[in-house]
Structure 1
Amino acid sequence: MPRLPHRLPPTIPVKKSILVSRPANGHEVFIPQIRKLVFEYCDAWSSSANLRRYIFNHVESLARENPHVEVVVKERPSKHPIVRGFYLNNRDKVIGLKEFDVNQIQNKVQLLLDASGHKIVPLKRKTVVSTAESARGIWSGFHVQEPYRI
């Protein structure tokens, strides 16, 4: 059996820059799906009081933290307060903020910021997708070429 040499042959040093993976096809890029937030409130109704407080104290910092989101504050007379999120897939989500606390409003706004705008699909049951045609309607023995015999 041949003996292995005690020393390995000298190797070419590997640069660290070669070992680093490069982003390809958007692996390191995250595109937020929300494009616009619209806060709608009534100036007179008490159900909008907490939203008015939220707008006064937090909306400016929200807009600074999320420069990709257009933030619109709109008065909506004689209606309960809502916040609408508009997404890149041309869908929108509306959340009613009637009698919500400021912290609850922050949570709902964060929910809209994190959402994708897609429809909610049930995870329990998978939808049935058929590739072949199937019979439709109620079967009747009178509608076949050879009648059904008992």
Structure 2
Amino acid sequence: MSNSQLFLKPGFVRAPLQNGVGRYVCQLQRIVFKFCKNHGSSRGMREFIEQDLVDFAKENPGVVVYLKPRRHRGPVVVAEYLNGDRVWMSVNNKSQSEITKWIEVLRTQAGDVSATRLRKYQYTDYPSVQGPWTPFTFKDPSLNTAKLPDPKYGANNRLGETATEKLRKMFEQQKLSEKSTE
């Protein structure tokens, strides 16, 4: 383990609530916009609030939006997620379009995954040098250039007739039996 991971919380990477299997659940629960009403570094944040905030709130009804004006402080966006993570982002001297892009990033992510030391579900003292097993691990390499179906590689010739051929014969026999009964 490297020293950079000593103070990170350990965790597993998994899809939150199996998101995307059924319906999509936005992981962003609450977003707080902290800004100064007259400070120059908050100009982009004020423009975002005046022009884009109402549209953002309409498009994301499951996200609670708070506005918190503060005197003589830089603009900050705090995002809180369903898994309990809080992401704090300074948007000091950013333009309205940059803030819009960063809000979209916060809306689509599932918390601060980069601040998690990744752990595996499996552990071994002796990891494989050869890599993971796949269905093609022990296959003959000449299969890569072969034109299939090839009797050399398939067992189709040993099976006799195919299911399609059997169905055709049964259909022909049925037709012949119907003609003979007429």
Displacement of 1:26 in angstroms is 6.9
Q: Deviations over 1:70-128 (max 9, x none)?
A: 011111221100111100011110111111011100000001001101431689x988x
Question: In structure 1, the residue corresponding to 2:47 is in which secondary structure?
Answer: helix
Identity %: 25
Query: Are 2:82 and 1:83 equivalent residues in the alignment?
Result: no
Question: In structure 1, the residue corresponding to 2:93 is in which secondary structure?
Answer: coil
Question: In structure 1, the residue corresponding to 2:114 is in which secondary structure?
Answer: coil
Aligned pairs for 1:55-74 within 5 A? 55-74=49-68
Alignment partners' CA distance in 1, 2:46 and 2:115:
34
CA contact (8 A) 2:27 2:110 kept: yes
Query: Are 2:114 and 1:120 equivalent residues in the alignment?
Result: yes
Query: Are 2:103 and 1:109 equivalent residues in the alignment?
Result: yes
Alignment partners' CA distance in 1, 2:57 and 2:119:
39
TM-score (norm 1): 0.62
31, 42, 49: which one aligns with 2:36: 42
The verdict on how the C-alpha distance between 1:126 and 1:109 changes in structure 2, with shifts beyond 3 A counting, is same
46, 59, 69: which one aligns with 1:52: 46
Kindly provide the amino acid, as one letter, of the partner of residue 71 in structure 1.
V
Alignment partners' CA distance in 2, 1:107 and 1:82:
15
Alignment partners' CA distance in 2, 1:109 and 1:45:
21
Runs of 4+ deviating beyond 4 Å: 129-132
CA contact (8 A) 2:34 2:77 kept: yes
Query: What residue in structure 1 maps to residue 86 of structure 2?
Result: 92
Alignment partners' CA distance in 1, 2:20 and 2:105:
24
Unaligned runs of 5+ in 1: 1-24, 133-150
Alignment partners' CA distance in 2, 1:121 and 1:40:
23
Displacement of 1:66 in angstroms is 0.3
Alignment partners' CA distance in 2, 1:131 and 1:104:
45
Question: Which structure features the higher share of helix residues?
Answer: 2
